[in-house]
Structure 1
Amino acid sequence: MLLYFIITCFPFIFFLKSLTLKPLPPWATEMRLLSPWFWKNVSLFSISKLIKNSLTLSYFTSIPSKMSLKKMSFTSKVDNFDEVEEGVMSVLDLPELVLEGILERLPPAGLCSMAGVCSSLRSRCISDHFWKKHMKKKWGRLIGPAAYREWQWYIALRKDSNHVKQGKPKGLMRILSIVRASWWIKSKVDESNKQSSLPDDSIMSWFLALETGRFWFPAQVYNRQNGHVGFMLSCYDAELSYDPRTDTFQARYPPHGRRAVAIENSVPWERLRAPPVDASPHDLHISDCLNELRPGNNIEIQWRRNKEFPYGWWYGVVGHLESCDGNENYCRCHNSDTVVLEFNQYTPDSRWRRTTINRKEHREEGDEADGFYGGIRKLSSEDEISTWKRLWPSEALE
């Protein structure tokens, strides 16, 4: 067993020595900009622990005790153990199952480092198979259908810009620049990307674009503009860019009316979410829960100041009719066509405290004075409800 342990460790020792001799590709060096959390997980201790786990796994796979050091596999054998000293060892000599087990346990920065060693490891490390879990773990909560579509536009612009050197945009770039009027930042393709073997449409490429802040994506921000009193307990659409140095985001709120783009810095993760409805913030959400609403239900409702503004989502609860005393045994509010919506973050005498809608005919209701109330979402997720309650203002609003 000791002899087998020594043989299996040799490839990794030579592999570690080779790391300092192999320059990383341009896309891999971007990981230097990432947060210290990544580098903390690429320590020698972490890698040695991975090797220990892989050795335990390989012990139970009944690997032959004599293996070729030029091409190690589950079936190959050697006749003379002296080849250990003559052959050149590599991490690629590890059994495929063991190598895959190591790569699966590496953090993103570790995969990037591995990918810079040789073409064989690069083809493995950039595989979507390894990056799906990293994307889901870190970005899954913020990435929705809208962000995915934005990434497809981004890829299309990058590919087309590779054929445009100077002058006016041509082909797809020109078409997209006309159709995509809301595209705020034109992507600039670094010359180093042309030399990189990393596919633009790979999950790894998307992960790095998000992680380094190069890609702005659509999401929603709770209590926009640092909790401005006019936006308390609301959630608005924005374009976000990640800052790996502070582990926060920059948010750009789209212009509306005569107002210019509003920018907010240092937005923390806990104030962000993926849009719950896959639609433009200017589109009315068609409510499908009106017949289910009962007093005490938690809801979100679209609201906008006027027709030029985009909708934001505002938190509220379903209340009782004035004719009801709130006694559950005698309450018949759910049988009425009128539904009372309460926004208890406001004082009892505030004009924003209560509003009513028609259960059967509700579309958009309101006026220029009090704004316009749109579609309604009934909240059933405890995570969503707890998030709203966590953001509750310390004082009642006027």
Structure 2
Amino acid sequence: MAPKKKASSRAENVISSPEMSVLDLPELALECILGRLSPAGLCNMAGVCRSLRDRCREDYLWEKHLREKWGRVIGSAAHREWRRQLAATGAKQKRLLASLTRLLPLYWIKLRLDGGTKLRSFIPHDSIMSWYLSLERGRFWFPAQVYNREHGHVGFMLSCYDAELSYDSNTDTFHARYPPHGRRTIVIEEGVQWDRIRAPPVDTPPHDLHISDCLHDLRPGDHIEIQWRRNKEFPYGWWYGMVGHSVLCDGNEHFCRCQNADIVILEFKQYTPGSRWRRAMINRKDHREEGNETDGFYGGIRKLHTKEEISTWRQLWPADILE
């Protein structure tokens, strides 16, 4: 009977001893664990206790997730829009509080805001966690650009237009809302895939002329994007093309002087030879906006420097040459 009593005594000691909590871990170990959690895991862990709630909504944890999932489509324009919405929300809350103060006793409002857990925000509205979840849940329409808009409509092949986008987590795609122009109302495209979206590479608004800084460096064979719009009421889109040779140049690299000429030839090889959209000319020295109501207006130019940008355009190349 003696061994049985000893065993029983040890069991009682184990049961009565306090259990170890994740909060008992060294600080570095706890940070490593939280840093490996997914966004869903962080949200679940935040519901355990107040201490973990505060840790799980730290910006440094969510910056990594924001960068990994949204970094390619979120740019400075989206960040400015998020800050603008935060400022508007803060102003609205102040006006609401001022109205309640005039209608109700001040101590009641203070009790509810300071002591009432139901009115406390679990997620700080100005945190990276709040921004990430707003994107994930489709609550934040952010500015970005869409390649081949309106499901690759033939009139927009190899172009990229500004839009406001909202994420649909059920389909892992986006809704794109294009601004109205001319007589057209707002157009909404559904099912936009990730590979058709990019953050705007420049901060130029869609109705403004981009000031080109590459005109004197352009030479045949360079890949470019150029602003183009149908008329003055339309926003610009960015269209893919290449710098070509003049009609008097045979393309021989030893005799070509096209890079020194004032006139730069732009080629859009997605169109058939002879098409009025196949070639355009701009003046290297004083190029601003050039064109007319028939052929549209050409604006600023971006020279493409990275293989990734060029490869993206190549992957969007139409199956058939356009007329």
The verdict on a shared fold, with TM-score over 0.5 as the criterion, is: yes
Secondary structure of the residue that 1:260 maps to in structure 2? coil
Give the deviation of 1:89 after TM superposition. 2.8
Partner of 1:122: 53
Shift of 1:193: 9.0
Residue 154 of structure 1: SS of its match in structure 2? Answer: helix
1:150 and 2:75 matched = no
1:111 aligned counterpart, secondary structure: helix
Shift of residue 255, structure 1, vs aligned partner? 0.5
Ranges in structure 1 where 5+ consecutive residues have no aligned partner:
1-81, 169-191
Distance in 1 between residues matched to 2:297 and 2:118, nearest whole Å: 47
Asked if residue 226 in structure 1 is aligned to residue 151 in structure 2, the reply is yes
Distance 1:218 1:193, change over 3 A: farther
Q: Distance in 2 between matches of 1:117 and 1:258?
A: 54
Q: Which residue of 2 aligns with 1:185?
A: none
What SS does structure 1 have at the residue aligned with 2:300?
A: strand
Change (3 A) 1:229 1:161: same
Looking at structure 2, the residues matched to 334 and 156 of structure 1 have their Cα atoms a distance apart, in angstroms, of 49
- Cα shift at 1:323: 0.6
Whichever residue aligns with residue 55 of structure 2, its letter is R
Choose from 194, 197, 200 the match for 1:272.
197
What amino acid is the match of 2:298? Y
Return the alpha-carbon distance in structure 2 between the equivalents of residues 278 and 364 of structure 1: 18
Query: Matched residue of 1:264: which SS?
Result: strand
Aligned residues: 293
Q: 1:381 aligns with which of 295, 301, 306?
A: 306
SS at match of 2:90: helix
What does 1:233-382 align with in structure 2 at a 5 Å threshold? 233-382=158-307
Distance 1:292 1:228, change over 3 A: same
CA distance in 2, matches of 1:122, 1:159: 23
Aligned-partner residue type, residue 95 of structure 1: P
Note closer, same or farther for the CA distance 1:193–1:377 as it changes in structure 2 (3 Å cut). farther
Distance 1:197 1:155, change over 3 A: same
Q: Matches of 2:14 and 2:94 in 1, distance apart?
A: 51
**CA deviation string 1:99-149 (max 9, x = no partner):** 111000001100010011111001110000111110000011111111001
Q: 1:326 deviation in Å?
A: 0.7
CA–CA separation in structure 2 for the residues paired with 1:380 and 1:160: 43
In 2, Cα distance between equivalents of 1:194 and 1:163: 15
Equivalent residue, structure 2, for 1:135: 66
1:104 alignment partner in structure 2: 35
1:18 match: none
**What TM-score results when the alignment is normalised by the length of structure 1?**
0.71
Worse-matched range after superposition: 90-99 or 107-116: 90-99
| Superposed CA offset, 1:184-228 (max 9, x none) | xxxxxxxx9943231111000000000000000000000000000
SS of the counterpart of 2:63?
A: helix
2:22 to 78, 81, 91: 91
Mapping for residues 11-30 of structure 1, pairs under 5 Å: none
Cα distance in 2 between the residues matched to 1:309 and 1:115: 47
Cα 1:329–1:193 shift into 2, 3 Å: farther
Report what 1:177 is aligned to: none
Which SS does the other structure have where 1:256 is aligned? coil
Partner SS, residue 321 of structure 2: coil
What is the CA–CA distance in structure 2 between the aligned matches of 1:147 and 1:313, rounded to whole Å?
19
Deviations 1:249-284 (A, max 9, x none): 000000112210011000000000000111210110
Q: Kindly, what percent of the aligned residue pairs are identical?
A: 68
Which residue pairs with 2:10 in the alignment? none
Which residue number corresponds to residue 129 of structure 2? 204
SS at the partner of 1:302? strand
Partner of 2:113: none
Residue 397 of structure 1 and its aligned partner are, at CA, apart by: 0.7
Please give the secondary structure, in 2, of the residue aligned with 1:162. Answer: helix
- RMSD over aligned CA atoms reads 1.7
Q: TM-score, normalised by structure 2?
A: 0.88
SS of alignment partner, residue 219 of structure 2: coil
Going from structure 1 to structure 2, the CA distance change for 1:193 and 1:317 (only over 3 Å counts) comes to farther
> In the alignment, residue 61 of structure 2 is paired with which amino acid?
F
CA distance in 2, matches of 1:205, 1:379: 35
Distance 1:158 1:116 in 2: 25
Q: Deviations over 1:376-396 (max 9, x none)?
A: 000011111000000000011
C-alpha separation between the residues in 1 aligned to 2:128 and 2:138?
15
Shift of 1:161: 2.7
2:92 maps to what in 1? 161
